[in-house]
Amino acid sequence: MKELSTKVLIVGGGTGGVAAAIALGSRGIDCVMVDPFDWIGGQLTSQAVPPDENQWVETFGATRRYQDMRHRVRAWYRAHGHLTAAACDRPLLNPGGGWVSRLCAMPRVFHTVLEEMLGPVARHVTIIKGMEPVDASTDGDRVRSVRFGRCAASAPHDAITVSATYILDATELGDLYELAGIEHAIGAEHQRDHGEMHARTDKADPMDQQAFSWCFAIEHREGEECTIPKPPGYDAWASYVPTMTPPWCGPLFSWTVPSHNVEGCRTFPFIPHPQRCPEGMWDMWRYRRIVDSSIHEPAGSMPDVCLVNWVQMDYWKLPLLGVDQATRAKACAEAREQSLALLYWMQTAAPRLDGGTGFPGLRLRGEELGTADGFAMAPYIREPRRLMARTIVSEAHIGTEQRRAEGKPDQDKSPLGLAEPFADSVGIGHYTLDLHPSTAGRNSLYVPAAPFRIPMGSLIPRRVRNVLAAGKGIGVTHITNGCYRMHHTEWNIGESAGLLAAHCVETGLEPHAVHGDPVRVEDFQRELAAQGVRLAWPWE
């Protein structure tokens, strides 16, 4: 077994992990980042999820490095995408033209850009791919090392043990917390736990976890027959009517889906290329489209490519956390089967606007995702284990409805209200409190949140001295995970965690010592600001 030693170990190479590695490398701090997949970047790349971001992301709504990453993606298309002159001239080029984001783009381009950003700091950053954490060694309130095992053919060794002064968790499920015995939470809290307006009122339930999804990409070859073999579980999925509270609105496989409007549902048409979508209509093909064929030349040189990440393929029958490995593997296999069944339904039975059924020309496409089968390398995970941190962000801190109902001051400073002004802020973010359907039968939750801060205390365990959260598994609740999990916020969390680890290496102070002294917090915040990390919103 190979053994390595480093100043900082980053367990997981997701969106936050990459941001942490770039930040550490920029400070000249040696680190090792280990990830299970061939592509680093997590939800931006291996999970193939176009970035859902706040409305201010182009100006002051993200860190400078995150904005630089987005500028580099656009620059890549202008340099390599064979775009029309009109497309090149768009200052806010959206290469896929998807309406979920201002930057729907191919995951392979995000991966190329992330590796480009790591280039200047490569001598300080060691990246190991194809390996996952399997064990951790602890000594009292410190984690000494993590052992990794092979999980892909590309893995360099059968096992590696990495010891480090500081260890960051940037995994998709908060794996380090379980392996090292670090206190954490899973599932949904009771309302009395944090006084949250939309928390459960009957009981806390660890098995109440958000659905996850296995995304895939498709093109449409009109007039061709591309129908896949009928998936073994198709009949069950095609007839499945979810039992949810509030009630679902019919079969799962339908263009009519639950909504938070008065009617409780909404129908989105599906109008695949080369059919044109009427101006102003929101349809499913262009919802998360990652390739807009109309901006490339010569005409027809690129297909339209739709990234499928819809509620119809949200998987909630089995949880991923608090279960054994066999159950977790079964959940992932069933989620993949559900996605295949949805594709088969679209090819054979989905209603068309012309009154017919089925789109047999839909074809899985993997080039943009780095796979041969058209599926993302990894499932899209929304809810990980959540750190029992020095600060737990609750709905009372950021929920627009709750803060206004409780008469919190200055709620008129923003149309969405004002969130808790955490004095130990290490970044900002914003998204609606967006919870997908859960494994306990709760339908989706979608309520407004105020533009918020990321408190340093949410990155630091209550007990363990040398671990930091660098991904989605920070000190949040089941409810507030719904908005702290987005791409730009996860990046900010990872970048700030990386800079905090660098600060601790340079000063000899542990995270608890920094956080416990307001003067030291301010010193570190000045470092963050100098690095382009925004700590508050302009109207605060």
Is residue 267 within a helix (H) or strand (E), and if so which, with residue range? strand 265-267
User: How far apart, in whole angstroms, are the C-alpha atoms of residue 477 and residue 484?
Assistant: 10
**Is the Cβ–Cβ distance between 160 and 6 less than 8 Å?**
no
The average confidence (pLDDT) of the chain is 96
pLDDT (tens digit per residue) in 137-169:
999 999 999 999 999 877 888 899 999 999 999
User: What pLDDT shows up at residue 45?
Assistant: 98
Q: Is the peptide bond before 511 cis (omega within 30 degrees of 0)?
A: no
List the one residue out of 245, 199, 210, 244 whose CA is nearest residue 438: 210
CA 471 → CA 3, 118, 144, 305, 511, distances in Å? 25, 18, 20, 29, 17
List the one residue out of 314, 529, 518 whose CA is nearest residue 435: 314
pLDDT (tens digit per residue) in 71-121:
999 999 999 989 999 999 999 999 999 999 999 999 999 999 999 999 999
From first CA to last CA, the distance across the chain in angstroms is 52
Would the pTM count as exceeding 0.95?
yes
Q: What is the pLDDT along the chain (540 residues), one digit of tens a residue?
A: 899 999 999 999 999 999 999 999 999 999 999 999 999 999 999 999 999 999 999 999 999 999 999 999 999 999 998 999 999 999 999 999 999 999 999 999 999 999 999 999 999 999 999 999 999 999 999 999 999 999 987 788 889 999 999 999 999 999 999 999 999 999 999 999 999 999 999 999 999 999 999 999 999 999 999 999 999 999 999 999 999 999 999 999 999 999 888 778 999 999 999 998 888 888 999 999 999 999 999 988 999 999 999 999 999 999 999 999 999 999 999 999 999 999 999 999 999 999 999 999 999 999 999 999 999 999 999 999 999 999 999 999 999 999 999 999 999 999 999 999 999 999 999 999 999 999 999 999 999 999 999 999 999 999 999 999 999 999 999 999 999 999 999 999 999 999 999 999 999 999 999 999 999 999 999 999 999 999 999 999
The full set of domains in the chain, from first to last, is 2-89+107-187+383-530 (3.50.50.60), 216-369 (no CATH)
Question: What 3-state class would DSSP assign to 230?
Answer: coil
User: How far apart, in whole angstroms, are the C-alpha atoms of residue 53 and residue 199?
Assistant: 24
User: How far apart, in whole angstroms, are the C-alpha atoms of residue 377 and residue 77?
Assistant: 23
Rg of the chain (C-alpha set): 23
